[in-house]
Amino acid sequence: MATITTKQAPLLPAPSGRAGFGGTLRSEFTKIGSVRSTVWTLLVLFAVSVGIGAVASRVSATGWSNTPPADRTPLDATQVSMVGLLVLGPLVIVVLGALVLTAEYSTGMIRTSLIAMPRRGVIYVAKAVAFAAVALVTSLATALTAFFLGQALLASTHQSATLAGPGVLRAVLGTALYITLCGLFAFAAAAVIRNTAATITAMIGLLFVLPVLVNVLPWGWRDDLVRWLPTSAARAISATVWNAGPQNSHLFSQWGQFAVFAVYTVVLLVAGGILVRKRDA
């Protein structure tokens, strides 16, 4: 048996102040980066989203050249190049956003974390910030890569965009922000629900099923409801060809539509924070 001693080189004297946000934020970054499956999932999200965007761009370019000029409708080259991220991004990021919290509850790690840092609000905010940062960096890198690759593939149409083009930068940044918002929304939902499967199911219902269900409603109802859907933010913010015609007349402005989802997310984040503080862990 190994001899036991706890004698050790004297520690640095306890620093003044108290354990707070900075250390906890570093800890949360370590948590995200040290689970291999998370890192792989983000890399796959990047690769597959860029891939789908490239395929969509290639198909659009072919379709454009095969369509008589008179029949061509305006091509939103920016949106087409990011279609992979717009479809796949929310799916992947809500799973990760939920797992950031529910994996701690299901493994019991949350209790270990709370013993190390008992100020729950600090942990909650640090977790949200660390995850949001990772989600934003990943989706921004994905959006930009997909954009540039897609524009190269769409060059033959002479419809391809540059970042300086009208609304293009907003669409690229906005798409990355939308993906981040989806992740944060799932994170907050997980704080309320505390169960991985239930949280992911709820998120898929909200982001993938609800928009389809709304479409089978009578048109008048549909138009009243659709502006309140979180997913309308994606449609609005990623568009560079946006007219206030009949198609979009029932929606708010592009940032306005984004703000609807942002407000939902903030409200749910606050609710989740209150519950994390109040409930027994």
Partner 1 sequence: MPVSNNPMIEVRGLTKRYGEVTAVRDLSFDVLPGRVTGFLGPNGAGKTTTMRLILGLAYPDAGTARIDGKSYASLAWPMREVGALLDARAVHGGRSAYNHLLCLAQTNNLPRKRVGEVLELVGLTEVARRRTKGFSLGMFQRLGIAGTLLGDPAVLMFDEPVNGLDPEGILWIRTLMKVLAAEGRTVFVSSHLMSEMQNTADHLIVIGRGQLLADCTMEEFIARASGQTVRVATPQADVLAKAVAEAGGTAVGGADGTLIVSGLLAAQVGALAFNHGVQVNELTVIRASLEAAFMELTADSVEYRAGAEGTRGQPAGPGQPPQELAGHGRPGYEGRS
Burial-class residue 29 by CB neighbours within 10 Å (0-12, 13-18, 19+).
middle
Q: How far apart are CA 138 and CA 97, in angstroms?
A: 13
Total interface residues for partner 1 by CB under 8 A: 44
Q: How far apart are CA 59 and CA 97, in angstroms?
A: 32
66 lies in the binding site for partner 1 (CB under 8 A): no
Tell me the window of 31-39, 68-76, 141-149, 215-223 that interacts with partner 1 (CB under 8 A). Answer: 31-39
17 lies in the binding site for partner 1 (CB under 8 A): yes
Question: According to CB under 8 A, which one of 44, 47, 67, 118 is a site residue for partner 1?
Answer: 118
Question: According to CB under 8 A, which one of 49, 78, 113, 145 is a site residue for partner 1?
Answer: 113
**Cβ 182 to partner 1, closest distance in Å?**
23
**Cβ 48 to partner 1, closest distance in Å?**
21
3-state secondary structure 89-149: HHHHHHHHHHHHHHHHHHHCHHHHHHHHCCCHHHHHHHHHHHHHHHHHHHHHHHHHHHHHH
Helix (H) or strand (E) holding 219: helix 219-226
Return all residues near 63 (Cβ < 8 A) that are at least 6 apart: none
Q: How far apart are CA 241 and CA 151, in angstroms?
A: 15
Smaller CB separation from partner 1, 119 or 250? 119
Tell me the window of 6-14, 42-50, 145-153, 154-162 that interacts with partner 1 (CB under 8 A). Answer: 6-14
How many residues does the structure list for the chain? 281
109 lies in the binding site for partner 1 (CB under 8 A): yes
Tell me the window of 29-37, 65-73, 152-160, 225-233 that interacts with partner 1 (CB under 8 A). Answer: 29-37
Residue 155 DSSP label: G
Smaller CB separation from partner 1, 6 or 247? 6
Among 102, 119, 128, 107, residue whose Cα is nearest residue 25: 128
275 lies in the binding site for partner 1 (CB under 8 A): no
Smaller CB separation from partner 1, 72 or 111? 111
37 lies in the binding site for partner 1 (CB under 8 A): yes
Q: How far apart are CA 129 and CA 27, in angstroms?
A: 12
- Residues within window 89-108 making contact with partner 1, judged by CB under 8 A: 103-104, 107-108
**Cβ 276 to partner 1, closest distance in Å?**
12
- What are the residues binding partner 1 (CB under 8 A)? 1-2, 4-6, 8-9, 11-12, 14-15, 17-19, 22-24, 26-28, 30-31, 34-38, 103-104, 107-119, 280-281
